[in-house]
Structure 1
Amino acid sequence: MTDAGGELYIDASPGERRAALLDAEEGRLRHLAIDRNGRPAAVETILAARVTSVDGQTGAAFLDLGSIGDGLLAKAGKLTQGAAIAVQVSRDAHGGKGAAVTRAWTLHERYLSWTAGRQGISWARALGQGKRRAELEEILARALDAMGASGLDDGLQVRAPAAAVGEAALLADLRRLAARRAAVEQALKGAKPPAILEAPADFALRQVRDAPAESRVATDDRAFFQRLKQRVEGDWPDLAAGIAFADPAKGALLERAGIADEIADALSRHVSIPGGGRLTIDDTEAMTVIDVDSGRSADGGGLKDEAVFRLNKRACEEAARQIRLRNLSGLIVIDCVTLRAKGRMRALVDAMRAAVKGDPVKTDVLGVTAAGLIEITRQRTGPSLGELHHAPMGDPAPAPDAQAAAILRAVLRNPGPGRPVVTASDVVERALDGPLATARADCERRLGRPLEIRRGPDSVPPRIDLER
């Protein structure tokens, strides 16, 4: 499956925004991103940081990132304590670990990106080597020539949606990149670290910016729709024919699009493989283990080797989808159904590499371990889908802020006669009074009455009674 085209749905409710991307070929959920009050995301933030210490053994530098907290730069090089440097957050703080940063900060536009310190021009793999790539090379050469001595010819990356636009859009992206680069460099000169040089793009705009070429985009957020319409008309011509406003009065957007059930499946331990079989996904602190089950027995239950290979290939394709959808990261191993012909494992590794090709997050398929497991590493950029929805690992209960956001969404989208009375645990009530207090106030303003909470066990979906 390629990442060309697709349907992007962005819904907004008090305290939470969700963006769901469906692929163009099968209409299946490909990517889900969540922005929730109380869980600030710093990825893509560019800032002037101060080196607080350098570990002589590991060569890592610890940085003061100001309001973001502490940061870790894996390779300090010649940096010394007290030095000021420009860095970009590449991974949010997680599990007691500070944010990860890089000195190779990147500026993203829809069609082009630019990275500090990188040599030459790189191309998205989806652009291939064909006629359109050659046309783009000519267009880009003319655009760079028109820009003059911009310095963008080193470190430039051509993104996949560039294939859908012409010279004017690429030149406009180049100009924006040049202006942003100059602004960051100018801000750095006068900065007193720690200081933010460029804040990350708005969550919803970032989802659209990174959507496949010629995607269709729908949102139930009227204010965002107006902003998006202006941005698309001015800067993102490949999306111009496909943006729409979905009236929230007609029902919850993701539910209307049939996505809610797929989100529930993405939180399940077991996943069906198209064509038969299933995956069992266990996400632990040390690694993620994905087990392939033929539905018969661990060794394929008498299936011929070719049938086992086809099952494993489908399993790899579904595993790649689940890895991206669940935002799994770190070390991932896949235990496929045993193949008698050991040489076929190399073909499975190739299939896995092809399956993760469209993942925008750096993903490496390392090969097969001595135990016959396919080994993968994926860069961590933020919490997994499970971490966003569930309490700490090992506890099946919903995360308090996730349950609180679900309550506010359900109250607004299930109107009826009477006053809404919500059943919630004390930890969820604390979330509603804490990180989601502003969202609760917004919800109550829309309802025209206070939200009444009755202490009790949490349930999924939330229990909301209408009482007179």
Structure 2
Amino acid sequence: MSTEILVNIGQQETRVALVEGGAAQEIHMQRASRHGLTGNIYKGKVQRVLPGMQAAFVEIGLERTAFLHVADMVPLPVNGDAMPSISQLLHEGQQVLVQVLKDPIGSKGARLTTLLSIPSRYLVLLPHEKHVGVSARIEDEAERERLREVLDALQQRMAPQFGLIARTAAEGAEAAALEADVAFLLRLWKAISDRAAVSEPGTLVHGDLPLSMRILRDLLGTHVERVRIDDAEECRRVKQFAQLFVPQAAPLIELYEGAAPIFDLYGVEDDINRALNRRVDLKSGGHLVIDQTEAMTTIDVNTGAYIGHRNLEETVLKTNLEAAQAIARQLRLRNLGGIIIIDFIDMKSEDHRAQVLRALERALAADHARTHVYPFSPLGLVEMTRKRTRESLGHILCEPCPTCSGRGTIKTVETVCHEIAREVQRAARQFEAKGFLVLAAPNVIRGLVEEESLGLANLETALERPIRLQAESAYGQESFDVVPL
């Protein structure tokens, strides 16, 4: 399957699309006004310690204080040892060097760790641990053993007080390249340590690479055929970076000079717009309905117009298998994370359920984010988790509807008319007014004049005061004002 990376450089926004087999699989965005924070290192100050939650709130200079849990401060206990109390590790006012694990999402502040990790092309340096490991995505046992031996030797010789982890990109890398990576990481850590020593609390000590360069580290795998960038200056900078840090990627980088916008290739722009819709149509005629909430994401699978050719069981199985593929793609494309509940169409056959579960797991295997899928529940639901480190595409590109405040529904005209009547009665008890002026949306005023005219006339009679109506096109359907005259 051919794989390309498309990079669109705007005035205030950089967008990256990972395209596999002619279809966009992942979208990454970075805006000048709103950089992603994951991986950034800050000099923080402990604002509050919460022993009952085994956590602390840390001020790092962002809009909201960040959250630090004890599990992100010490390695996981072994042999049943108890986790130390947060009060033993932190106190209010203490300065601490922290790294962002998860960006702020919704009303939640950033999640932090003191177990810092500094990534490079092939390796990750662990300044506060002495662990040597190899990415689980490298499955060849011989290669895993080779990398472990090389890293053990490099650690003992160059970084005995640090830990090292081989990233997926290290598969097949020569020992000399890994050694150069260790040397680079040690220089970088010294610069970070020196900067942290003189920084004030609440300041950024080390920021991650710009998105256009970070993709070479995070997305560039062995199957990527080329990286196309639509800006000449940025293309030159990325090539220079690649020649220094990812030399094997430099020949893959090219300037895109086509007449059409780069995201019109393979329909990426259309994919982004469709990824903001709740409904995802399947080729068979079925469809998905995806709802993202703060607690979880739910996905409902429907047969729609597809009726199959043999029987109901065949129709259901075929739709569910197609849905499993589409769900895996949508999770990556929309960057949906956390708890995900999938309501496949009910299947009586255990064999059919197993087939759908295997299809979902195979489709998720290409996902860069860590996923875990659980068997069908007694209610026929599939529960899964996907690691969430940054905001979803919908949260980046959209905001809650000002009319419905994010509910997805608005009150009917009839409901608003009744609310206006109650508000007029309330105002009549509070104010010695000669009459009342009602300002509301045109369709609400129309409802008061037509459907609710009798009730309005009865209200005027009961209050013995006139009620004037005035349509305001700037008002939303739920908005209104009652003004005493």
TM-score clears 0.5: yes
What does residue 229 of structure 2 align with? Answer: 219
Q: Which amino acid aligns with 2:120?
A: E
The structure 2 residue matched to 1:14, chosen from 11, 14, 21, is 11
Q: Which amino acid aligns with 2:263?
A: L
What does residue 288 of structure 2 align with? Answer: 279
Are 1:246 and 2:256 matched, yes or no? yes
For 1:39 and 1:149, locate their aligned partners in 2 and report how far apart those are by CA, in whole Å. Answer: 35
The structure 1 residue matched to 2:104, chosen from 81, 93, 96, is 93
How many residues align? The count is: 390
1:241 counterpart SS class:
helix
Q: Deviations over 1:135-175 (max 9, x none)?
A: 44454455446x434434x3x22222222532332222222
**Percent of residue pairs bearing the same amino acid type:** 29
For 1:307 and 1:203, locate their aligned partners in 2 and report how far apart those are by CA, in whole Å. Answer: 43
Check the 8 A contact 2:23/2:266 in 1, yes or no: no
What does residue 70 of structure 1 align with? Answer: 65
Give the gaps of 5 or more residues in structure 2.
Answer: 74-85, 406-472, 475-485
Check the 8 A contact 1:6/1:212 in 2, yes or no: no
Q: Which amino acid aligns with 2:131?
A: G
Tell me whether 349-358 or 203-212 shows the greater mean CA deviation: 349-358
* Inter-CA distance 11–149: structure 2 relative to 1 (3 Å threshold): closer
Q: Which amino acid aligns with 1:27?
A: G
Tell me whether 186-195 or 59-68 shows the greater mean CA deviation: 186-195
Shift of 1:123: 2.6
The structure 1 residue matched to 2:244, chosen from 234, 242, 260, is 234
The structure 1 residue matched to 2:330, chosen from 317, 322, 327, is 322
What does residue 432 of structure 1 align with? Answer: none
* Inter-CA distance 217–30: structure 2 relative to 1 (3 Å threshold): same
What does residue 40 of structure 2 align with? Answer: 45
Q: Which amino acid aligns with 1:218?
A: R
Q: Which amino acid aligns with 1:66?
A: G
Check the 8 A contact 1:390/1:396 in 2, yes or no: no
Q: Which amino acid aligns with 1:163?
A: E
The structure 2 residue matched to 1:262, chosen from 252, 258, 271, is 271
Check the 8 A contact 2:41/2:98 in 1, yes or no: yes
Check the 8 A contact 2:216/2:249 in 1, yes or no: no
What does residue 109 of structure 1 align with? Answer: 120
Check the 8 A contact 2:284/2:306 in 1, yes or no: no
Q: Deviations over 1:228-257 (max 9, x none)?
A: 111212221331321101137x33111145
Bigger-Rg structure (1/2):
2
Shift of 1:346: 4.9
Shift of 1:66: 1.6
Check the 8 A contact 1:160/1:212 in 2, yes or no: no
For 1:212 and 1:46, locate their aligned partners in 2 and report how far apart those are by CA, in whole Å. Answer: 24
Check the 8 A contact 1:172/1:235 in 2, yes or no: no
Shift of 1:121: 2.9
Are 1:389 and 2:393 matched, yes or no? no
Q: Which amino acid aligns with 1:98?
A: G
Q: Deviations over 1:7-31 (max 9, x none)?
A: 11111122211100112xx232111
The structure 2 residue matched to 1:84, chosen from 91, 95, 108, is 95
For 1:172 and 1:201, locate their aligned partners in 2 and report how far apart those are by CA, in whole Å. Answer: 19
Are 1:293 and 2:302 matched, yes or no? yes
1:20 counterpart SS class:
strand
Tell me whether 216-225 or 355-364 shows the greater mean CA deviation: 355-364
Are 1:379 and 2:387 matched, yes or no? yes
Check the 8 A contact 1:9/1:253 in 2, yes or no: yes
Q: Deviations over 1:286-325 (max 9, x none)?
A: 3211112233589x89746466445423322321211111
For 2:248 and 2:175, locate their aligned partners in 1 and report how far apart those are by CA, in whole Å. Answer: 13
Q: Which amino acid aligns with 2:260?
A: G
* Inter-CA distance 42–98: structure 2 relative to 1 (3 Å threshold): same
Check the 8 A contact 1:143/1:167 in 2, yes or no: no
Q: Which amino acid aligns with 1:12?
A: I
> Cα RMSD between the aligned structures?
3.2
Q: Which amino acid aligns with 2:292?
A: D
Shift of 1:394: 8.4
For 2:215 and 2:102, locate their aligned partners in 1 and report how far apart those are by CA, in whole Å. Answer: 17
Shift of 1:347: 5.2
Q: Which amino acid aligns with 2:301?
A: V
Q: Which amino acid aligns with 2:54?
A: G
For 1:114 and 1:318, locate their aligned partners in 2 and report how far apart those are by CA, in whole Å. Answer: 36
Tell me whether 52-61 or 372-381 shows the greater mean CA deviation: 372-381
Q: Deviations over 1:391-449 (max 9, x none)?
A: 3158799xxxxxxxxxxxxxxxxxxxxxxxxxxxxxxxxxxxxxxxxxxxxxxxxxxxx
Check the 8 A contact 1:90/1:102 in 2, yes or no: yes
Q: Deviations over 1:51-97 (max 9, x none)?
A: 11012322220111124641111337232211222211122223232
For 1:65 and 1:53, locate their aligned partners in 2 and report how far apart those are by CA, in whole Å. Answer: 13
Check the 8 A contact 2:287/2:301 in 1, yes or no: yes
Tell me whether 116-125 or 223-232 shows the greater mean CA deviation: 116-125
1:93 counterpart SS class:
coil
Q: Which amino acid aligns with 2:229?
A: T
Tell me whether 388-397 or 194-203 shows the greater mean CA deviation: 388-397
What does residue 448 of structure 1 align with? Answer: none
Check the 8 A contact 2:43/2:201 in 1, yes or no: yes
For 2:49 and 2:253, locate their aligned partners in 1 and report how far apart those are by CA, in whole Å. Answer: 49
What does residue 465 of structure 2 align with? Answer: none
Are 1:120 and 2:128 matched, yes or no? no
What does residue 479 of structure 2 align with? Answer: none
The structure 2 residue matched to 1:363, chosen from 365, 368, 371, is 371
Tell me whether 67-76 or 97-106 shows the greater mean CA deviation: 67-76
For 2:177 and 2:254, locate their aligned partners in 1 and report how far apart those are by CA, in whole Å. Answer: 22
1:89 counterpart SS class:
strand
For 1:151 and 1:43, locate their aligned partners in 2 and report how far apart those are by CA, in whole Å. Answer: 25
For 2:339 and 2:101, locate their aligned partners in 1 and report how far apart those are by CA, in whole Å. Answer: 18
Check the 8 A contact 2:297/2:340 in 1, yes or no: yes
